Structure 1
């Protein structure tokens, strides 16, 4: 059984040293540091997950720092459940054994899940911006312009499934219309369950009452 810490060294991560110290004091035999250049593939995180054994403990600074979306989090939790691996998130104040942060409520956990897609999108944009600056590239104006199409659409799906408003989704994605968001959701087979309609509106049919009044 081993305790292992993981930190993705995002841009402007002011709490890096404090989080690393917390992990070391807790007894982590190793604190894995993922560089910002590896944000897209996260090879060290994947290696850590693949090497987990029964009874191990994984300590992360925050779930949005370690994982790239709600689906990855769900898969990670299921893997840890099967392998009986303890999960500790310092800033989310979550301990899967319920010992370190007894004051954390179910509402706090649900809040973490709901905020995860947006936090991940912001983190990834910040990381992509650093790489663009290093490469003297033009800085994207929209939050998710730096992401590839697949990552962008996955974030939109995660935000919709987790109850974010269309205004929030459009602000993060850079889309200017709901129909664009609807198209992404339809493409990923997401069941639409908000409002009167279940998809993007077609061309509005002209009714008889819509004709100009005669003078």
Structure 2
């Protein structure tokens, strides 16, 4: 009923149910969502690690494995997808593949059976709020990383964590975090230091055509 009506074409096709959960930092509904999927009859629940937030290798492998008539259960669209563009592509993919979509917390079932109380306005609300929710998920992930970075640790221990800090900067950039988010986590006094670390590790910069911030560089950290 909602999203697309083509799924009624698959009613007579044998289906495999599979679940997907991105293990976002600080998300405390993982166990409950996994139990819901298992009770619903999912033959497998794919768990994407937080460190793979940008590339989502498990999600891509899952998309390649789905066949006509399968059912895909997600915790929430903002948990599985990274924005509105991916959502549009995903819905078109499922339309062509005749894959049924179930989103637990959005209360959306593309066949319209599981959540009869869901209205068209609820679906539109989900579409409208998706970009903000995805951005909040990435910020929460960055915040968790920040809290784990040597807060209230002895000075000696801090001095030994330079390599780990640099690895964190590289990992956050490769996973799509903004320079501002990385800078806040890094503890550096200027953004130019973040670019210095990225250049040091040979990271291919994709935040524009420049390899560093524009304008006069600020002094490096003390």
- Shared fold per TM-score greater than 0.5: yes
Question: Quick check: 1:4–1:57 contact (8 Å CA) kept in 2?
Answer: yes
Task: Find 2:90's aligned residue among 65, 76, 88.
Answer: 76
Match of 2:121 in 1: 107
Task: Find 2:36's aligned residue among 19, 22, 31.
Answer: 22
Task: Find 1:97's aligned residue among 111, 117, 127.
Answer: 111
Q: Which has the higher contact order (CA 8 A, sep 6+)?
A: 2
* Uncovered stretches (5+) of structure 2, i.e. residues with no partner: 1-14, 151-164, 169-175, 180-207, 209-222
Once the two structures are superposed, the pairs formed by residues 182-193 of structure 1 within 5 Å of their partners are: none
Q: Which runs of 4+ in 1 moved over 4 A?
A: 132-139
**Displacement of 1:46 after TM fit?**
0.9
**Displacement of 1:11 after TM fit?**
1.5
Task: Find 1:116's aligned residue among 126, 130, 137.
Answer: 130
Once the two structures are superposed, the pairs formed by residues 140-151 of structure 1 within 5 Å of their partners are: 147-148=177-178
Alignment partner of 2:117: what SS?
coil
Match of 2:55 in 1: 41
**Displacement of 1:134 after TM fit?**
4.5
Question: 2: distance between equivalents of 1:72 and 1:86?
Answer: 17
Alignment partner of 1:53: what SS?
coil
**Which string of whole-angstrom CA distances, capped at 9 and with x for unpartnered residues, describes residues 3-29 of structure 1?**
110001111211111100000000000
Q: How many residues align?
A: 146
Question: Quick check: 1:39–1:127 contact (8 Å CA) kept in 2?
Answer: no
Aligned CA RMSD, in angstroms, stands at: 2.4
Question: 2: distance between equivalents of 1:22 and 1:67?
Answer: 20
Match of 2:70 in 1: 56
Question: Quick check: 2:26–2:141 contact (8 Å CA) kept in 1?
Answer: no
